[in-house]
């Protein structure tokens, strides 16, 4: 592949709802650009970008793929992203390095939740965008309806650049709005034709809207517009490019990926109207001077690059995908990683087309490439030691859906840990948490499908099997009343016996952030001072697994006020055992209760779903605290909900809101569990309590 300078590069991300046709569009573009000799199909599992076995099995994109194309003396780096919400982390990685977006809308399905989310992402990252309406070869598709719906939703900035020509219910050509000409497909040729009569009125409307936008780009144009002057095609195109780059116009184009129709025009328009990286600002921090380093994709500045994605394949090894943010990177360059204070020699430079690596002699500022087998991670900044730079990390969504996992085969535990570490290096939204307190290992992801894919990858790629089960909830135990108990531990075996005698009071501490507080009020040396630590140790060990349901104990005050000892048989061990048994008895006498974790939940949904969501939260024993409008025009419902009721919430929320709802939560406090929940939990944990007692 040739070397391209910054002004000849276009980094374009494909966004849209799952199944809208992003991968098919990238396949058609690759075919037209001459990368492939025949177009692959998602259903056949032979597309360039869906190379992973899981993607081929499920017929969906799971990770972002890069497909660099050469077109009209330019390089277009296509980033084909997943449309399913469980893989949003992949989309966010691509957004962090894209300079423009194409939102793919299925002409058959129209605007879907994924379309709206794609638009919101473009707004968040301030990306210029185009809309491509796919599936135009289906006879009952209404392009006009999609344009109307997009205009109703996003305003007059939507500008159709072409209109379909249909004959005998077949998609045979298009009308170019800028040129006011018709074109037909005849075999592989595109032939000019008359604009059909039925297109004339719509063409005039679209053309007028476009000319209005052009007129608004300068005062001179505005004057000419009001004086009734016409604009030349070159003037219109220059003004449109300026408007597309600043987001005041969003072109709408259409075609059929399977028939490769409308794709040639789209590729041309990406080159003509989409911005190159040189138009974008980019700044980092020089870590040695603490000054701002304005990279701005300038090839003449010191070289820096950002690692936006990691790919680890058992067969082809590890690739780190980078975007060069300044300078020109060449093979054998020695780069410095400021946050790790290490240097790496980069060796060869590659560009990846799907999973196929092609060597390149250099990468200019703004270009995307790949480095192989280096000790670098997603989010790292590569710079030089003379000019150490750190760029901000990507904004990646936090995973809130989690499951407990077990190795099916105990001997695989280490291998599973290593495999999960590799998967987590690739996927920023996958988290592995060791919950030592509840003796469980948890897998966090963006949804049930995400965790299912991880489980499947472990089995098929790394040859280890795990089971995913419902996680244990971190209950706590405490007491509500006071108790006063006495326990005498006496054991006589030949020689020295064991003797420890304690009288203790137990009371609620009023502070559930502490496990216990120990105090002594012994008078007259009934229990010698040197045994006080042993008594406290007995309490400290007992609170780890409470007598009610073997959960950790919180908020208990234990006071030793009397007892007795034997000058020969008393020992620290005897007093520890006596204190431990006194605790069990005293705890159960003082009205023990289970405390359950309560989280502060925020659910972001469109207005229409607020009633359904609140009703569902009430069923989950939630307390709705209020509702506030969000910056994206949705409603944020704030509530407090027991942690145990959130299991499976991601799937339920998506089905209730058609995929448009999001949620986040954080631990708030512990609160007494209702009696029915307590009874059920105590019964379920009876064997754990018995096991804890038998260990004594």
Range(s) within the chain of domains with CATH label 3.40.50.300: 6-277
Q: Classify residue 553 by its DSSP letter.
A: B
- Looking at domain 476-590, its CATH architecture is 2-Layer Sandwich (3.30)
Range(s) within the chain of domains with CATH label 3.30.230.10: 476-590
Residue 258 pLDDT: 87
Residue 356 pLDDT: 86
CATH superfamily to which 6-277 belongs: P-loop containing nucleotide triphosphate hydrolases (3.40.50.300)
Taking residues 24-52, report their average pLDDT. Answer: 83
Taking residues 122-145, report their average pLDDT. Answer: 91
Range(s) within the chain of domains with CATH label 2.40.30.10: 283-390
Q: State the distance between the two ends of the chain, measured CA to CA, in whole angstroms.
A: 71
**Cβ proximity of 569 and 497 under 8 Å:** yes
**Cβ proximity of 263 and 29 under 8 Å:** yes
Q: Which residue has the tokens 């199909």?
A: 41
Can you read off the two tokens belonging to residue 685? 């944990």
Q: Which residues pair with 162 in a beta bridge?
A: 176
Taking residues 667-682, report their average pLDDT. Answer: 92
Residue 304 pLDDT grade (very low, low, confident, very high; cuts 50, 70, 90): very high
Residue 71 pLDDT grade (very low, low, confident, very high; cuts 50, 70, 90): very high
Range(s) within the chain of domains with CATH label 3.30.70.240: 595-678
Pairwise CA distance, residues 336 & 334, whole Å: 7
Taking residues 553-572, report their average pLDDT. Answer: 91
Average pLDDT of the chain, as a whole number = 90
pLDDT reading at 696 higher than 70? no
For the domain made up of 283-390, the CATH class stated in words is: mainly beta
Taking residues 554-564, report their average pLDDT. Answer: 94
User: 326-363, pLDDT tens digit by residue?
Assistant: 999 999 999 999 988 899 999 899 998 887 889 999 99
Helices then strands (H, E): number in the chain?
17, 37
Q: How many Å is the maximal CA-CA distance in the chain?
A: 117
Residue 328 pLDDT: 95
Radius of gyration of the chain from its Cα atoms, rounded to whole angstroms: 33
| Region at 636 (left for phi over 0; alpha for psi -120 to 50; beta for the rest) | beta
For the domain made up of 595-678, the CATH class stated in words is: alpha beta
User: 364-407, pLDDT tens digit by residue?
Assistant: 999 999 999 888 999 999 999 999 999 999 989 999 999 999 99
pTM: 0.87
Q: Indicate the range of 254-263, 265-274, 414-423, 681-690 predicted with least confidence.
A: 681-690
Q: Classify residue 412 by its DSSP letter.
A: G
In this prediction, what percent of the chain has a pLDDT beyond 90?
67
User: 268-283, pLDDT tens digit by residue?
Assistant: 999 999 999 997 899 9
Pairwise CA distance, residues 35 & 32, whole Å: 8
Taking residues 612-626, report their average pLDDT. Answer: 94
Range(s) within the chain of domains with CATH label 3.30.70.870: 401-469
Domain 401-469, classified CATH 3.30.70.870, yes or no:
yes
Contacts of 479 (CB under 8 A, 6+ apart): 506, 507, 508, 555, 556, 587, 590, 591, 592, 593
Residue 373 pLDDT: 83
Pairwise CA distance, residues 693 & 687, whole Å: 10
User: 84-112, pLDDT tens digit by residue?
Assistant: 889 999 999 999 999 999 999 999 989 99
Residue 449 pLDDT grade (very low, low, confident, very high; cuts 50, 70, 90): very high
Taking residues 606-632, report their average pLDDT. Answer: 92
Residue 694 pLDDT: 67
Residue 1 pLDDT: 78
Residue 275 pLDDT: 94
In this prediction, what percent of the chain has a pLDDT beyond 70?
99
Going across the sheet that includes 283-286, the strands are 291-294, 283-286, 389-390
Pairwise CA distance, residues 55 & 59, whole Å: 5
Residue 695 pLDDT grade (very low, low, confident, very high; cuts 50, 70, 90): low
Residue 29 pLDDT: 93
Pairwise CA distance, residues 458 & 461, whole Å: 6
Alpha helices (H) in 179-319, listed in sequence order: 197-215, 219-226, 233-245, 263-273
Residue 54 pLDDT grade (very low, low, confident, very high; cuts 50, 70, 90): confident
pLDDT reading at 292 higher than 70? yes
Residue 673 pLDDT: 94
Q: Which residue has the tokens 């099997």?
A: 465
User: 226-247, pLDDT tens digit by residue?
Assistant: 888 888 888 888 888 988 998 8
Taking residues 649-655, report their average pLDDT. Answer: 92
User: 532-543, pLDDT tens digit by residue?
Assistant: 999 999 999 999
């Amino acid at each position: 592949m040739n070397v391209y300078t910054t002004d000849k590069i276009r980094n374009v991300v494909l966004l849209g709802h799952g199944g809208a046709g992003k991968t098919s569009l990238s396949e058609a573009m690759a075919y037209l650009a001459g990368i492939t000799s025949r177009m692959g199909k998602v259903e056949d599992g032979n597309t360039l970008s869906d190379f992973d076995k899981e993607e081929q099995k499920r017929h969906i994109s799971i990770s972002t793929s890069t497909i660099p194309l050469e077109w009209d003396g330019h390089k277009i780096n296509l980033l084909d992203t997943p449309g399913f919400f469980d893989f949003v982390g992949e989309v966010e990685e691509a957004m962090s390095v894209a300079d423009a977006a194409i939102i793919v809308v299925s002409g058959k399905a129209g605007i879907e939740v994924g379309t709206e989310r794609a638009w919101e992402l473009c707004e968040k990252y301030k990306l210029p965008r185009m809309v491509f309406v796919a599936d135009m070869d289906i006879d009952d598709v209404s392009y006009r309806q999609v344009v109307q719906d997009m205009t109703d939703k996003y305003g007059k900035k939507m500008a159709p650049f072409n209109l379909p020509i249909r004959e005998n219910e077949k998609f045979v050509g298009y009308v170019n709005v800028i040129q006011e000409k018709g074109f037909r497909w005849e075999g592989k040729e595109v032939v000019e034709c008359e604009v059909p009569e039925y297109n004339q009125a719509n063409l005039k409307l679209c053309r007028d809207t476009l000319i209005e936008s052009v007129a608004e780009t300068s005062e001179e144009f505005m004057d000419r517009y009001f004086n009734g002057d016409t604009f030349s095609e070159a003037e219109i195109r220059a003004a449109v490019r300026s408007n597309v780059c600043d987001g005041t116009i969003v072109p709408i184009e259409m075609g059929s990926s399977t028939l490769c129709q409308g794709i040639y025009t789209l590729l041309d328009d990406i080159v003509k109207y989409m911005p190159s990286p040189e138009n974008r600002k980019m700044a980092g921090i020089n870590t040695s001077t603490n000054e701002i380093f304005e990279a701005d994709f300038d090839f003449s500045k010191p070289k820096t690059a950002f690692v936006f994605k990691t790919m680890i394949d058992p067969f082809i090894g590890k690739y780190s995908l980078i975007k060069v943010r300044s300078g020109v990177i060449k093979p054998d360059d020695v780069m410095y990683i400021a946050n790790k204070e290490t240097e790496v020699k980069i060796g060869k430079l590659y560009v990846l087309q799907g999973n196929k690596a092609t060597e390149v002699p250099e990468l200019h500022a703004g270009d995307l490439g790949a480095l192989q087998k280096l000790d670098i991670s997603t989010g790292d900044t590569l710079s030089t030691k003379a000019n150490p730079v750190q760029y901000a990390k990507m904004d990646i969504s936090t995973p809130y859906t989690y499951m407990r996992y077990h190795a099916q085969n105990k001997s695989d535990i280490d291998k599973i840990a290593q495999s999960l570490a590799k998967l987590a290096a690739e996927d920023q939204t996958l988290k592995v948490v060791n919950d030592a307190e509840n003796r469980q290992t948890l897998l966090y992801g963006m949804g049930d499908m995400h965790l299912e894919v991880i489980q499947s990858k472990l089995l098929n790629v790394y040859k280890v099997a795990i089971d995913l089960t419902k996680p244990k909830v971190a209950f706590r135990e405490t007491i509500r009343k006071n108790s006063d108990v006495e326990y005498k531990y006496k054991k006589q075996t030949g020689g020295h016996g064991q003797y420890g005698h304690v009288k203790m009071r137990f009371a609620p501490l009023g502070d559930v952030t502490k496990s216990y507080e120990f105090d002594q009020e012994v008078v007259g040396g009934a229990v010698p001072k040197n045994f006080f630590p042993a008594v406290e140790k007995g309490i400290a060990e007992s609170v780890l697994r409470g007598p009610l349901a073997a959960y950790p104990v919180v908020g208990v005050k234990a006071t030793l006020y009397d007892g007795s000892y034997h000058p020969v048989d008393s020992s620290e061990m005897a007093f520890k055992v006596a204190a431990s048994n006194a605790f069990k008895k005293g705890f159960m006498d003082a009205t023990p209760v289970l405390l359950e974790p309560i989280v502060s939940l925020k659910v972001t949904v469109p207005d229409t779903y607020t009633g359904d969501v609140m009703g569902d939260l009430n069923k989950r024993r939630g307390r709705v605290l209020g509702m506030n409008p969000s910056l994206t025009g949705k409603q944020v419902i704030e509530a407090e909900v027991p942690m145990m009721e959130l299991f499976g919430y991601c799937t339920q929320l998506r089905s209730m809101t058609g995929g448009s709802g999001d949620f986040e939560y954080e631990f708030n406090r512990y609160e007494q569990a209702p009696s029915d929940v307590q009874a059920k939990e105590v019964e379920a944990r009876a064997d754990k309590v018995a096991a804890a007692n038998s260990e004594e």
